[in-house]
Structure 1
Amino acid sequence: MKSKILFVLCLLTGLMFINAGLDKFFHYMPMPKEMPEKMMKAFTAFTEIGWLMPLVGVTEVLGGVLLIFGRTRALGAIVLVPLLTGILLANISMAPSGLPIVFVLIAIVIWVMIENKEKYLPMIRK
């Protein structure tokens, strides 16, 4: 039962990241109307850097796809950690109203990492 719940959570989280990543290229989701001014300025600045948003988009899609499949789930969690760190810091500093969703995503990724801890051990062993 626990593995089925984890699969569903990883599927939904992965699809969310795939959607967010694809939006960086195709711009099909409208910008929220109630976005704070600081976040709007930061987003505009990030889009001015031509390579940054495509890099984030590719990383989101890749991390989302890897998270969906059990065989690559541990790698997907590692790929998503830097993105989630950036999302967390952006929400703390500019839009605290988004923190509950960020905490849920972080909890899911931490659960994946705990479930796959044996796959990470070779990275930290001597």
Structure 2
Amino acid sequence: MRGKILNILSVLLGLLFLNGGLNKFFNYMPVPEDLPQPISRDNEALMEIIWLMPLIASAEILGAILILFPKTRALGALVIFPVMVGILLTHIFVAPEGLVMAILIWAVFLWILYENKQKYFALMQ
């Protein structure tokens, strides 16, 4: 039962990141008009670095695809990890109104890391 729940949550997390990564390339979801000023300012600054958003989007897409499949889930979590840190720090320091959602996403992410801990220990030996 626990494995089924983790699989469902992993697929949802993978689809969330796949959607976010694809949106960075194709812009099919409009940016909300009422974004807080600090987030708008940060987004504009990120867009000035031309290669950064495609890099983040590529990491999100690759990590999402890897997370979708149990065999590659541990590697996908490692690919997504820097993006996850950015999400958490953004919601802690810039946009605390989204912190609850960020914490829920982190809970699923940490569960994936925990369930694959033996694979990570093998990397460190």
> How far apart are 1:116 and its partner, in Å?
0.9
Partners of 2:98 and 2:65 lie apart in 1 by: 23
Q: Aligned residue for 1:100?
A: 100
> Which residue type is aligned with residue 113 of structure 1?
L
> Which residue type is aligned with residue 68 of structure 1?
L
Q: CA deviation digits over 1:51-73, x for unaligned, max 9?
A: 00000000000111111100000
TM-score by length of 1: 0.96
Q: Aligned residue for 2:14?
A: 14
> How far apart are 1:107 and its partner, in Å?
0.9
> Which residue type is aligned with residue 47 of structure 2?
T
> Which residue type is aligned with residue 107 of structure 1?
A
Q: Aligned residue for 2:71?
A: 71
> Which residue type is aligned with residue 98 of structure 2?
G
> Which residue type is aligned with residue 10 of structure 1?
S
Partners of 2:33 and 2:96 lie apart in 1 by: 16
SS in 1 for 2:32: coil
TM-score by length of 2: 0.96
Partners of 1:88 and 1:7 lie apart in 2 by: 23
Q: Aligned residue for 2:115?
A: 115
Q: CA deviation digits over 1:41-94, x for unaligned, max 9?
A: 100110111000000000000111111100000111111111010111111111
How does 1:23-62 map onto structure 2 within 5 Å?
A: 23-62=23-62
Tell me whether 29-38 or 15-24 shows the greater mean CA deviation: 29-38
User: Which consecutive aligned stretches of 4+ in structure 1 deviate over 4 angstroms post-superposition?
Assistant: none
> How far apart are 1:34 and its partner, in Å?
2.5
Q: Aligned residue for 2:3?
A: 3
| Structure 2 gaps, min length 5 | none
Query: Are 1:85 and 2:85 an aligned pair?
Result: yes
Partners of 1:81 and 1:105 lie apart in 2 by: 12
Partners of 1:95 and 1:113 lie apart in 2 by: 25
CA RMSD of aligned residues (A): 0.8
